């Protein structure tokens, strides 16, 4: 039996070399909810749904990926067992409508709301970096980091205040380092280059953990403690306003996007440097 510390190192090495499916063979797999040895693992996989679920989705169905959910089924919350370990390794995941060759799984969703609840939601400490939060829904703040272990294709989309939705990023990665939260071998496929570098391809930071690329401080601490993948510092934020003008107030609205980028994608803006948006969502599939 491997010790917990040995398992952690072995799991990280496996992510780097052989993909997440092999993690199912661990004696004590990585525990997504606590960050310690346990039996709740989210990883990669291939194949289809559980027996009897290929033709029709039901409450008892378990799938290895959103792409295995029948095309006739609606978008919504499904149980995924991405690594094949059974109920102990299952995740509750929002799977979108079939699109672009298959369904995508919702990694995170930040929604605009007055009064500051979104800012508090994304103030995630380092110890909780792999803990799911919120309801899996496009109407709520949600974070399902277990999908980073399985995900290989990613896309980010943003909805502006009037309701226009655009895809702003398409990228690939070979998994994630669960200690640093650095995505492995990130490759930009489409979208704004700065957005890729600052929100996907570089470091991760929380208020108590600094692995962003900002040389003179911590991006998460500088902007309301909001944890996310950061460059120097953000093109968009899941829950903070980057305007330096203290006269600009938006009642602690959640997600913001740099206005020049919003304009380049045909999205509306509120006249500030970082405009409010209705929603920022990250999706993945494998």
- Same domain? For 177 and 56 the reply is no
CA-nearest of 281, 286, 285 to 136 is: 281
Last residue of a domain, one of 47, 69, 103: 103
- Same domain? For 92 and 129 the reply is no
Q: What's CA 102's distance to the chain center, in Å? A: 18
- Same domain? For 33 and 118 the reply is no
- Same domain? For 161 and 266 the reply is yes
Residue with the larger pLDDT of the pair 59 and 235: 235
Global confidence as pTM: 0.81
Last residue of a domain, one of 48, 83, 103: 103
- Same domain? For 46 and 13 the reply is yes
- Same domain? For 145 and 204 the reply is yes
What is the model's pLDDT at position 115? 84
Give the DSSP per-residue string, 112-153: --TTSHHHHHT---GGGTT--EE-SSTTS-EE-THHHHH--E
Domain total of the chain: 2
- Same domain? For 90 and 181 the reply is no
- Same domain? For 111 and 99 the reply is no
Left if phi > 0, otherwise alpha if psi is -120 to 50, otherwise beta: which for 37? beta
- Same domain? For 60 and 194 the reply is no
Q: What's CA 88's distance to the chain center, in Å? A: 21
Which structural domain range is residue 127 located in? 104-286
Locate all alpha helices (DSSP H) within 18-52, ordered by sequence: none
Last residue of a domain, one of 63, 84, 103: 103
Per-residue pLDDT tens for 115-174? 889 999 999 999 999 999 999 999 999 999 999 999 999 999 999 999 999 999 999 999
The per-type count for the chain, helices as H runs and strands as E runs, is 6, 16
- Same domain? For 114 and 80 the reply is no
- Same domain? For 55 and 154 the reply is no
53: confidence class by pLDDT, cuts 50, 70, 90? low
- Same domain? For 229 and 153 the reply is yes
CA distance 221 to 223: 6
Q: Kind of pairing, strands 105-111 and 142-143?
A: antiparallel
Per-residue pLDDT tens for 29-51? 222 322 333 323 333 333 454 54
């Amino acid at each position: 039996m491997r010790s917990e510390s040995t398992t952690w190192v072995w799991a990280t090495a496996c992510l780097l070399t052989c993909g997440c499916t092999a993690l199912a063979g661990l004696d004590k797999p990585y525990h997504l909810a606590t960050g310690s040895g346990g039996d709740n693992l989210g990883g990669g996989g291939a194949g289809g749904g559980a027996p009897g679920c290929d033709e029709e989705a039901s409450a008892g169905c378990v799938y290895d990926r959103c792409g295995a959910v029948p095309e006739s089924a609606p978008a919504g919350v499904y149980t995924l067992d991405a690594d094949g370990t059974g109920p102990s390794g299952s995740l509750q995941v929002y799977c979108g409508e079939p699109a672009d060759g298959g369904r995508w799984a919702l990694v995170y969703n930040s929604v605009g709301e007055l009064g500051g609840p979104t800012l508090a939601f994304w103030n995630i400490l380092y110890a909780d970096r792999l803990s799911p939060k919120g309801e899996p829904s496009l109407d709520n703040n949600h974070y399902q980091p277990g999908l980073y272990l399985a995900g290989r294709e990613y896309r980010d989309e943003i909805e502006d205040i009037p309701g226009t939705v655009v895809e702003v990023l398409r990228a690939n990665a070979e998994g994630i380092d669960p200690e640093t939260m650095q995505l492995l071998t990130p490759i930009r496929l489409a979208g704004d280059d700065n957005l890729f570098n600052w929100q996907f391809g570089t470091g991760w930071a929380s208020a108590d953990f600094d692995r962003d690329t900002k040389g003179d401080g911590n991006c998460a601490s500088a902007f309301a403690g909001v944890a996310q993948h950061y460059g120097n510092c953000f093109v968009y934020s899941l829950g903070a306003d980057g305007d330096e003008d203290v006269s600009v107030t938006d009642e602690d609205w959640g997600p913001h996007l740099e206005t020049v980028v919003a304009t380049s994608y045909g999205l509306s803006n509120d006249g500030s440097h970082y405009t409010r948006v209705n929603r920022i969502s990250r999706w993945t599939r494998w």
